[in-house]
Amino acid sequence: MMVPEVRAVLRTLPPGSRVVCAVSGGADSVALLHCLAALQRELGFTLTAAHFNHCLRGAESDGDEAFVRALCGIWSIPLTVGRGDVRQRAAETGESLEEAARHLRYAFLRAQDGYLATAHNADDQVETVLLNLLRGTGLKGLGAMAPREGRILRPLLEVSRADILQYLHQHGLAWREDSSNGEDSALRNRLRHHVIPLLRRENPSLSATVARSTAILRQDEAFLAGETAALLHRAAREGGWNCEILGQAPDALRTRALRQLIGGKKPAAVHVAAVEALLTRRNGSTSVDLPGGRVARREYGLLRIESKAAVHGFVPVTLSPGETASLPSLGLRVRLEGPVVLQNKVTDASTFALKCDMMEPTPRLTIRPRLTGDRLLGPGGSKSLKRRMIDAKIPAARRDLLPVAADSRGIVAVLGLGCAWDRRALPGDRAWLLTFTSEGRETDD
């Protein structure tokens, strides 16, 4: 047993794929590399190897590297070797040595070109499920690792350690033992040495049982993930998500959707509950602080999640005809062009046609946030800018983010509200064109 499982995973790849096998020098990775080399011609993929030296065990770590170099040389398999200072990263980040080593190792491996094959086996899967269960998890954590996730391949995931050792002995293969695997300093090792043997006494087929269970749970997780994506799609509105649609969703989907919106590796339950409470509040705008300098807001029936820095306005810019200015904090560019004879009525909400007769001969505009006392003339007369924003149901947190275009005579236009009634140009008028575009879009300049 082993070759059929490896063959089944590799057959899911496109013909001619490049596969990089992560090789530590231990039993599992040596067996995987040998099996991949044996299947390479049959399945038509290109095989290379990658080894990361964690430099944690001095001469022993260097010995692992030398062993892998020699092995790949004998088998004529191209090898890439990386190194990293695990202790330094752990000191800088506060991670455990195990966490720091994993981060550096995977950063190196993911930099390799092609599919990445790792030697995780069925016994590793049992350990991962128990680790996730102890730390607290949901379906995704209980489903643990999958045989294939994007570029990551785990061809041995349904193969037991006993079958791997049998394969090594059958083919007369040598490997290196990592002395740290015998220590109890890491939680994974303590589970391996003390907890899992007790579970195997109750169920000798523990690895196979867990493999079947995790496969079922991954199916359930995939279905719920699809339903959650559909919920978010239904609730999506410009600038946020409809609170009523999210609030009426089944609990399982709603909490999943909120965790996805909050983001991060594992949103805390307290943050999910706080954002969930926003969905049913009716007392106007309210907000909840989130990690990473972000905030969740309920505004006019929409849930918005944004950076706190995004609510503090922007730096004003000045603009003359033929010039383009950038408003980087808003992700916008603004350009003033003309004069032109306006042929048709302007219908684009991000373009304003300003009547030349109501402007200075060579206008110079300031694009700025609103100021106290600002007023905008409309068809019903002059109103304060604040009142017009309230009437337009523009959330309070976003009012300082609407660019106001003004000259020496006053406001000429406000993005999101429109042009001052006495400054607007009609078809046949000579006009200046003031246009706002996204930073990502190309303009004529």
What whole-number distance in Å separates Cα of residue 49 and Cα of residue 119? 12
HEC sequence for 146-208: CCEECCEECCCCCCCHHHHHHHHHHCCCCCCCCHHHHCCCCHHHHHHHHHHHHHHHHCCCHHH
Check whether 322 is labelled as a binding-site residue: no
Check whether 350 is labelled as a binding-site residue: no
Instruction: State which amino acid sits at residue 157.
Output: L
Check whether 28 is labelled as a binding-site residue: yes
Check whether 37 is labelled as a binding-site residue: no
Structure tokens at 418: 């429109």
What whole-number distance in Å separates Cα of residue 226 and Cα of residue 95? 33
Parallel, antiparallel, or unpaired for β 410-414 and 418-419? antiparallel
What whole-number distance in Å separates Cα of residue 431 and Cα of residue 34? 75
Show Cβ contacts of residue 280 under 8 Å, excluding neighbours closer than 6 positions.
243, 247
Q: At what angle do helices 27-43 and 3-10 cross, to 10 degrees?
A: 60
Q: Taking the CA atoms of 218, 221, 223 and 229 in sequence, report the sign of the dihedral they define.
A: negative
| Residue 302 exposure: Cα atoms within 13 Å on the Cβ side | 17
Show Cβ contacts of residue 344 under 8 Å, excluding neighbours closer than 6 positions.
427
CA-closest candidate to residue 437, choices 297, 302, 337: 337
What whole-number distance in Å separates Cα of residue 295 and Cα of residue 290? 5
Yes or no: say if 413 and 423 are a contact pair by the CB < 8 Å rule.
yes
Check whether 25 is labelled as a binding-site residue: yes
Check whether 113 is labelled as a binding-site residue: no
What whole-number distance in Å separates Cα of residue 36 and Cα of residue 326? 54
What whole-number distance in Å separates Cα of residue 169 and Cα of residue 22? 21
Binding-site residues for ATP sit at 24-29
Binding-site residues sit at 24-29
